[in-house]
Structure 1
Amino acid sequence: IYHSVVKNPKIIPGNTVFMLYDTYGFPYDLTEVMAEERGYTLDETGFNQAMEEQRKKSRAAATFSADAADAALILLEKFKPLMENLSETIFNRDTLTLETELIFANSTDTDDGALILKESPFYVESGGQVGDIGKIYADSFEFEVHMVMNHQNYYIHLGKFINGNSGDANNDKSVTAEVNADRRWSIMRNHTVTHLTHAALRQVLGPHIKQSGSYVGPDRMRFDFSHHQPMTDEEIERIEQIVNSEILKATDVNTDVMDIENAKKTGAMALFGEKYDDNVRVVSVGTFSKELCGGTHVNNSSQIGPFFITLETGIASGVRRIEAITGEEAIKFMIDAQKNRKEAASIIGRPEPELLEGIQALKEQNSQLQKELKKVKANMFAGAGTSVGNEEEINGLIFYTHFFGETDRDTMASWIDSKKEANDPVVAVALGLVDDKMTYVGAASKAATESRIHIGNLTKELLAQFGGRGGGKPNFAQGSVDNESKPEELFETAKNIIAKDA
């Protein structure tokens, strides 16, 4: 959240609020309450837009899933009699394009369909790695593969007919299956780097590190692991250095198939609680990393490209999560970072090597100016209480009111503090629009509190009548009211309460 409010330090963007809701389960109302306590407001419009976009995606996914599932179920029903005489689908992990035989195809009225091939280059989602997409085609049809599922070791390719239909496909048994190569390469980069990251984490944090979950997609990799505390910036930087160093070594990535017992004897890492076949695949990156893995990988570590960790956070007690990018995503990350660095250096008028020094100098200068401004505001009201606000006498008390219009908290605080420190029995209340929110402050001097005035209780009673809430101590209170509230009506109501209590 801190990083998301750098551009506008008073408003939390809608996409950030939605991420808290969608990823971590924070209700909007709870986030709003927590934000208010810290002086922030939420971008409700942006949140609603993100929510509507998610609904659209869910509706689209649900529609496809339902139609594709129908096609798959009908296909399986028709395919069952043929199963006894056919061998299972062969997964060819060594190529992204191959000529193969179409065993059976089926489609719905909406052109959603399902195809079964004798041999397939498409990876089925498993072990944290997402499945492939691509196309299957011949002279008479073209089929877009959106996902692949494994049913009793028959690979069912789900998607949509772009040209032709299942009838055309069934008449044209010789087909070409083609995986989306760019996407698969991005996935392979992220999968191999997951292994390198696992090894680096054990090296930096200790041998207690155990994998608790993972996601390997074309956009990023996510790795969950057991650890008792957040990683420090230095530890994250060290992981990045180690992994990028291993990438630059251009080490071959080797895969050996062996029985599970021999695999464990070689020192290959196995996931606790995971079930393995008698024969397993052992993926090694030199002597740095060795794990049991059925996923797809690059041939050489140099094919991964640059590696950057973009997130480190906790997801449960004793479980940490990191997310990282490689390849094209990492290159884009570097280009954007360089662009931002140049723009920032230009804005503050410093050479790039002096950027951090310049930002630190600006921060210190801003801090000093804020202190001086606060003093000016305090002096502006001190000793000049009658010059700002309305004054009237109520049963021996001096009652001040003032509507600041658009203002800031410091200005309101300076005015209210000048009234609170008065020697006379003074009660003061003020309203102001702070970050487009009608904000209230109230104060009572020592002499006023001795006259049975408790500004905290008065505030609680007052603001409830104007769609707001607030409260505080005997001598100071704060809160907020509905933005449509009329200051003169609130001040008149406050006057009546004081007249009753004093």
Structure 2
Amino acid sequence: MQWTGLNELREKYLSFFESKGHLRLKSFPLIPQNDKSLLLINSGMAPMKKYFTGEITPPSKRVTTCQKCIRTPDIERVGKTARHGTYFEMLGNFSFGDYFKHEATAWAWEFCTKVLKLPVDRIWVSIYEDDDQAFDIWTKEVGVSPDRIVRLGKEDNFWEHGTGPCGPCSELYFDRGEEYGCGSPTCGVGCDCDRYVEFWNLVFTQFDSDGKGNYTPLDHPNIDTGMGLERLACIMQGVHNLFEVDTVQNIMKHVSRIANVHYGDSEKTDVSLRVITDHIRSTVFMIGDGVMPSNEGRGYVLRRLLRRAARHGRLLGIHEPFLSEVADTVILENRDAYPELAEKSVLIKKLILVEETSFGKTIDQGLAMLDTAVENLSGDTLSGEDAFKLYDTYGFPLDLTMDILEEKGLKVDEETFDRLMKEQRERARASRKAATAEAWAGTRSVLADCPATVFTGYEGTETTGKVLAIVREGELSEAVSEGEALVVLDRTSFYAESGGQVSDSGVLTLDGMTFRVFGCFKTATGVFVHRGTIESGVLSVGDTVTASVDKERRLAIMRNHTGAHLLQAALRKVLGDHVEQAGQMVTEQTVRFDFTHFSSLTPEELQDVEQMVNEVILSAMPVQTREMPIAEAKAMGAMALFGEKYGDVVRVVKAGDFSIELCGGTHVDNTAKLGLFKILSEASVASGVRRIEAVTGAGVLDYMNHLNGLLHSTAAALKVPNVEDLPQKASQAMTEGKAKDKEIAALNSRIAQIRIDGLFAGAEVIEGIHIVSALFSGTGPDALRAICDQVKDMRDDTVIVVAGTLGDKATIAASCGKQAVKKGAHAGNLVRAVAKIAGGSGGGRPDTAMAGAKDLTKLDEALEAVSSIVNDMINK
């Protein structure tokens, strides 16, 4: 066999199966499409489940792909070993009821031995222990020697997930040689050592399982294969692990240059190099497919990977953001196969930089939290709860926490930490298990036999359609005379909610029958389902009804949707090409548009965007929509939805020369029909994602009337006859308010001084430190803090604790002068101990701290304990 690069291997595989009549599909996005059972695509077949179940007709009965995948269950082990990674590519060839075992095995053997020229004497085959048919095919048809075939049990060689399609597997192994073995005389296929590497799994999906041990043969069995591209590259390049594969190694070399370390110098730095290399690959591809950092779901996976990579950068001595620079190499190594990475490079790098910079501050906060936890230790062991909080909140793995504690002669409660980690994993595992069970659910939908609906809503708001199905309480019904129901027509003018645009509403009518439609949704097979309630008469299957959309509501939605397109174009012109749609919701009232940007918009930028959109509206540009091949649309510069997958033919919406986008929604035919455009608000919704809410048409008039009402009510409240005089009156009120604030502050200062003068008369002295405590009724936190600050500034040999009540609330403040702190006094620990007596809690720095108290009856008792607590601190 000959050394072959990873990118070349990918092309060899896909080209080979194209020659066998397979349709080559591009990798599906990492974000699952219409599948809530997965956070991220984790296998080659995952995005094609509905092809296997028959819920959706595949574009061809023979398909081949190289699928981007992310798996994170073993994220803590990534880096510690060279085996584990989160991102990988899965090669696959699939048959949807076409060919089966004979062809799958023959082609696998042909590709391995004829195309890759793997030595036959180093290839082994495993089969399911009861699959005699596979044994005969491999030995009698393919020509594999029987002594190179191993039978394995159900756990290893039978693919099954709950209920649904399943079947036996046959796997191909490569013998890497004795030097990779464990030395055991029984070492062979199935051994845990690194000698025999499983690199291709052929799944023969031939049964339907009911989950109770009963297996019914499928009328049309399927083939689902998977081969890890990186694992195959390891074999073809003769390297030990995926981190030594050419494209991956080039990424690692970039990290090494920045850190000035070399892979193989030490195990400690090797771990960090592997973590960074793997995680930056994952994050670049995830962002390229539309994943945005957040604190939940797939966004949290992305954030966690980025933070783990950044922390390992610090362990290598890199204290400045560097991951966005390494992203250049990831894009360079993969741009031929995945051109979207180059197209999104500005956004990918910017987002990584923002997130890494933010984590730089977060990790400092985590270190501060750890320092505080150490200061409050009563022994030499950090609690497992604190260690887990550091891990879960700030991304501190246990080993980092242990390293820091070891330097201080401390340790951590690993048992409790492990228990909390186990509980978290079990919750995640249960969630994944439930998701897997749901993955095949709903495939026998009551609407499975309905043909795709013909949508006429682009041409008009009214049409006639035949009732194909009525569903009530999950069951098919022949008719409906009362209550709610779901109705399917063969043709409809109702837009089904999708692409961020809400569905239409309206009525279905026929000879005295009225069915009020509240909403409309679309199934994966293109069936439009009208949700509503019967208002009069009887609706039956087979009736031909008139479907009438609420025209005024539709027009308002259309204005706002076209407004969203103009808004995106204006944002890109004002802010830059990194702006991408990250989500939208278009209703009849407003347009809510989420987009990628990394800081709040200035008033000038908002004004520029708004003015630009209104200029386009007033220019009365024609809005044209037409279908065309996606290649032609992209050549025209059409904007695509970030992370979305499109078919070969797309619908393009073009507003003059100002905006051109791929969109399946409804739009006005001229920008002038928007009337006006007004931005209501701009805010952050996630890291690197901003949101603008705006209105068009009548919505602008409603907003203007609302503002006018506010102006007049405000003028009346301030007793201003004319609203034009409001600015002057408001300025005057502000000036008067500031003057009164200064007067109140001066009075508080005088009151504090008067109180302070009387405090020292009864001060107790311990080891040269004056201890003062007092209770003041009708005194809030600000006044208490002022008293403490003045005492601390006046005398550095003083500890003061003052409590105050204001209504039913109590506050305790404490401060310690420099001399007192040197002798062991700590305001944070002191106020915490005092507040605890009164049922409260709090803390702070050694020199100043605040706390709250719940039991006002115990404040005197709490203050009496101050001297004793301070005495213990000083004499400890």
State whether TM-score is above 0.5: yes
Tell me the CA shift for residue 315 of structure 1: 4.3
Question: Which residues in structure 2 correspond to 1:220-235 (within 5 Å)?
Answer: 220-235=590-605
Matched, 1:381 2:752: yes
After superposition, the Cα gap between the structure-2 partners of 1:190 and 1:497, relative to the gap in structure 1 and judged at 3 Å, is same
Which of 452, 464, 468 is the aligned partner of 1:99? 464
Give how far 1:241 is off: 1.2
TM-score, scaled to structure 1: 0.72
Which residue does 1:330 correspond to in 2?
Answer: 700
Shift of 1:197: 0.6
Distance apart, 1:401 and its partner CA: 0.7
- TM-score of the two chains, using structure 2 as the length reference: 0.43
Instruction: Evaluate the alpha carbon distance shift between residue 269 and residue 404 of structure 1 in structure 2; reply closer, same or farther with a 3 A threshold.
Output: same
In 2, Cα distance between the equivalents of 1:340 and 1:250?
32
Deviations 1:7-52 (A, max 9, x none): xxxxxxxxxxxxx999999xxxxxxxxxxxxxxxxxxxxxxxxxxx
**Bigger mean CA deviation after superposition, 487-496 or 258-267:** 258-267
Q: Alpha-carbon deviation of 1:478?
A: 1.8
SS in 2 for 1:382: helix
SS at match of 1:311: strand
Q: Tell me: CA distance 1:400–1:218, structure 2 relative to 1, closer, same or farther (3 Å).
A: same
Structure 2 CA distance for partners of 1:484 and 1:398, relative to 1, 3 Å: closer
Change (3 A) 1:412 1:194: same
Query: Which runs of 5 or more structure 1 residues have no equivalent in the other structure?
Result: 1-19, 26-68
Work out whether residues 259 and 278 of structure 1, in 8 Å CA contact, stay in contact via their aligned partners in 2.
yes
Q: Which residue of 2 aligns with 1:10?
A: none
Q: Take 2:796 and 2:718, find their aligned partners in 1: how far apart are those partners?
A: 49
Q: 2-side partners of 1:329 and 1:499: how far apart?
A: 69
- Does structure 2 conserve the Cα–Cα contact (< 8 Å) formed by 1:102 and 1:116? yes
What one-letter code is carried by the residue in structure 1 that aligns with 2:619?
Answer: K
Cα drift, residue 120 of structure 1: 0.6
Hey, what does 2:532 align to over in structure 1? 159
Alpha-carbon distance in structure 2 between the residues aligned to 1:127 and 1:472: 49
2:545 & 2:603 partners in 1: Cα distance?
A: 52
- Name the stretch that deviates more: 235-244 or 318-327: 318-327
Distance 1:472 1:140, change over 3 A: closer
2:508 counterpart SS class: strand
1:320 aligned counterpart, secondary structure: strand
What is the alpha-carbon distance in structure 2 between the residues aligned to residue 266 and residue 357 of structure 1?
Answer: 53
Contact (CA 8 Å) 2:514, 2:537: kept in 1 or not?
A: yes
Q: Does 2:540 match 1:169?
A: yes
Deviation at 1:164, TM superposition (A): 4.4
Q: 1:412 and 1:295, CA in 2 relative to 1: closer, same or farther beyond 3 A?
A: same
**More relative contact order, 1 or 2 (CA 8 Å, 6+ apart):** 1
User: How many angstroms does 1:402 deviate by?
Assistant: 1.9
SS in 2 for 1:238: helix
Q: Deviations over 1:234-279 (max 9, x none)?
A: 1111111111222233333232344444444444434465444454
Q: Which residue of 2 aligns with 1:13?
A: none
Q: Residue 747 of structure 2 aligns to which amino acid in structure 1? A: V
Which residue number in structure 2 is paired with residue 248 of structure 1?
618
Match of 1:308 in 2: 678
Q: What amino acid is the match of 2:459?
A: D
Do the aligned partners of 1:400 and 1:426 also contact (CA within 8 Å) in 2? no
Matched residue pairs, number?
Answer: 427
The verdict on how the C-alpha distance between 1:470 and 1:495 changes in structure 2, with shifts beyond 3 A counting, is: same
Contact 1:124–1:150 (8 Å) recurs in 2: no
- The alignment status of 1:287 with 2:660, answered yes or no, reads no
Identity of matched residues, %: 33
Measured after TM superposition, the shift of residue 291 of structure 1 is 2.4
8 Å contact kept, 1:394–1:498: no
Equivalent residues of 2:495, 2:520 under 8 A apart: no
Can you list the C-alpha shifts for 1:108-165, whole angstroms capped at 9, x where unaligned? 4984322222321101222222222222122353323232324533323233333345
Q: Distance in 2 between matches of 1:124 and 1:381?
A: 67
Q: Is the 8 A contact 2:775 2:860 kept in 1?
A: no
Find out whether 1:359 has 2:753 as its counterpart. Answer: no
Within 2, Cα distance between the matches of 1:435 and 1:240?
A: 49
1:209 is aligned to 2:574: no
Contact 2:777/2:806 (<8 A) preserved: no
1:79-228 correspondence runs (5 A): 80=449, 88-108=453-473, 111-139=483-511, 141-145=513-517, 146-150=519-523, 152-165=525-538, 168-170=539-541, 173-228=543-598
Return closer, same or farther for 1:457/1:304 CA change in 2, 3 Å cut-off. same
Q: Is this contact kept in 2: 1:423–1:447, CA < 8 A?
A: no
SS at match of 2:541: helix
2:830 is the alignment partner of 1:458: yes
Code of the residue aligned with 1:292 in structure 2: it is L
Shift of 1:394: 3.6
Q: Which has the larger radius of gyration?
A: 2
Amino acid at match of 1:89: V
Q: Report the CA distance between 1:476 and its aligned residue.
A: 3.5
Q: In 2 relative to 1, CA 374–279 (structure 1 residues): closer, same or farther, beyond 3 Å?
A: same
Q: Which runs of 5+ in 2 are unaligned?
A: 1-293, 301-440, 476-481
1:369 to 740, 744, 765: 740
Quote the Cα distance in structure 1 between the aligned partners of 2:524 and 2:510: 24
Distance 1:363 1:408, change over 3 A: farther
Query: Which deviates further from its counterpart, 255-264 or 328-337?
Result: 255-264
- Cα distance in 2 for partners of 1:207, 1:408 equals 52
